[in-house]
Amino acid sequence: MTSHTGNDGDGDSRDKTRAVPSGRLSRLSTFGRLAAGVAGGMASEGAKRLARGERPSISDMMLTPGNAVKVANQLAHLRGAAMKLGQMISMDAGDMLPAELSQILARLRDQANHMPPRQLKEVLGQEWGRDWRRRFRHFTPRPIAAASIGQVHRAQTPDGRDLAIKVQYPGVKESIDSDVDNVATLLRVSGLLPKALDIGPLLAEAKTQLHEEADYLREGAQMQAYGKLLAGEDAFVVPGLDKEFTTGRTLAMTFIDGVPIETLAAADQSVRDGVMNSLIDLVLRELFSFDLMQTDPNFANYRYQPETGRLVLLDFGATRAVEPATADGYRRMLAAGLGGDVDDIRNAAIAAGFIGPGAVQRHRPLLDRMIAVISEELTRDGPFDFGDRAFVRVLREQGMEMAADRAAWHLPPVHTLFVQRKISGTALLGARLKARVDVRTMVTEMLAG
């Protein structure tokens, strides 16, 4: 499909209509059914393992394919913050998740349902008035994309403006806090998170960001800011804001045609390399020059125009300021990484909050081996081959060993986590495209400049 999505996730779900549970009680009951279903699955799995003479842990019983499917299906039904958190887990864990679980959770990136016509009509009537259809020459009732917070429709005004309009699901904004708390409770009772790990600051920040993403007036302003920052550039195009049809719950922008960026996996190597070079350059400028970053790395937030070679940037709801301390931490880590000294890299990572004291005290040899692997990959001369994932398997094995010691678990500062989410997601896209980019030279030039 060739279309502009402008959405907050991906998924062409035009044949999957399901009303969004918008009331607090209806959403709570969905979580209750989810918890009951997962508990039943855990009991069944536990009985099977005990019968085989095994001693399963709670997390082993929780992370079964059957339970992952239950969680994915129910979060897709809830949409909103619940589904968004599931998407974030599936992307942010990246290569560190078991392959089977990663594939199942990835369903959340293309499983969104869209609102039935009656619910859509009610939402738009509240935002634009009862006679809103008269304000358009055409309004496509079936969305061209549906995701966690809203769905996107194509429309044309009487004066010929082609628009993509994102419509927020009802009840999503009001349910953010409770949804985040309920997902956190599921993680707690499952035993997946150690009780000693304080995720309070992260949950508070997640709620703040999700409230910002649900404010379409704010997103429109951020889209305009990026339009100005990237004006006149050959590599990127940003949709223009249409103020007439933009409200807190509807975001209207110029329709810009393009193909999903994942389709470039079949393109020539030079095309894939050029696209990733542009995206990595953008991330470096966001971090060290713009002091502003769009922190959602979902692949659906990028489209590609084969006829122009330009990248269409979409979805600016997760745009946030880059804290000076965060940028400085990355600057020091990258400088240490270019130097290749393990002690310098470890110290810079500790100072930036990436590594906690528990990991250093309990697993320093293992930690240093992981640092050495990363350093060796990043300091090689010539282009970095994102498609060569052999070193990731090594890091996963060593990381799992450290992760088994929950006393060594550590959460980096929340501002750093959001920046790292963008960096990690960009690297995952590079892996998908098997791109080759001279990252070392780009970083060296950026730090020098």
Q: Is 150 helix (H, G, I), strand (E, B) or coil?
A: strand
pLDDT greater than 90 at residue 332: yes
pLDDT tens-digit profile of 379-408?
Answer: 888 899 999 878 777 787 777 777 777 777
Strands (E), 370-415: 384-385
Average pLDDT of the segment spanning 72-93: 51
In sequence order, the 6+-apart residues with CB closer than 8 A to the CB of 232 are none
Torsions phi, psi for 260 (to 5 deg)? -55, 140
Averaging pLDDT over each range in 56-60, 87-91, 334-338, which range is the top one? 334-338
pLDDT category at 53 given cuts 50, 70, 90 is low
In sequence order, the 6+-apart residues with CB closer than 8 A to the CB of 263 are 304
In sequence order, the 6+-apart residues with CB closer than 8 A to the CB of 264 are 271, 272, 275, 304, 433
Residue 8 tokens read as 């907050």
Separation CA 160–CA 145 (nearest Å): 22
pLDDT for 177: 84
Averaging pLDDT over each range in 34-48, 167-181, 218-232, which range is the top one? 218-232
Boundaries of every domain in the chain: 1-18+113-173+214-256, 24-111+183-193, 258-449
Whole-Å CA distances, 166 to 136, 143, 173, 220, 252: 15, 9, 14, 11, 6
Whole-Å CA distances, 216 to 33, 73, 251: 31, 27, 6
pLDDT for 317: 92
Average pLDDT of the segment spanning 50-72: 52
- Smallest CA-to-CA distance from 416 within 337, 330, 298, 344 is with 330
pLDDT greater than 90 at residue 328: yes
- The CATH fold assigned to 1-18+113-173+214-256 is Phosphorylase Kinase; domain 1 (3.30.200)
For residues 47 and 58, the answer to whether their CB atoms sit within 8 Å is no
pLDDT for 90: 47
pLDDT for 56: 46
pLDDT for 92: 45
- Mean pLDDT, all residues of the chain: 79
- Smallest CA-to-CA distance from 316 within 224, 420, 229, 204 is with 224
pLDDT tens-digit profile of 431-449?
Answer: 999 999 999 999 999 999 7
Helix ranges, 160-268 (H): 176-190, 200-213, 216-229
pLDDT for 81: 53
Separation CA 337–CA 344 (nearest Å): 8
Average pLDDT of the segment spanning 398-420: 79
Average pLDDT of the segment spanning 271-281: 97
pLDDT for 31: 47
Place of tokens 């713009």: 290
pLDDT for 123: 95
pTM (whole model) above 0.85: no
- HEC string for 264-328: HHHCCHHHHHHHHHHHHHHHHHHHHHHCEEECCCCHHHEEEECCCCEEEECCCCCEEECCHHHHH
The residue type of 58 is I
Q: Which of 278-282, 412-416, 418-422 has the lowest mean pLDDT?
A: 412-416
pLDDT for 195: 62
The residue type of 353 is G
Residue 201 tokens read as 């600051």
pLDDT tens-digit profile of 280-296?
Answer: 999 999 999 999 999 98
pLDDT greater than 80 at residue 268: yes
The residue type of 194 is P
Residue 151 tokens read as 């769905």
Separation CA 152–CA 157 (nearest Å): 16
pLDDT greater than 90 at residue 331: yes
Residues of the chain above pLDDT 70, percent: 71
Place of tokens 């599931």: 86
Residue 248 tokens read as 């807190």
Catalytic positions are 296
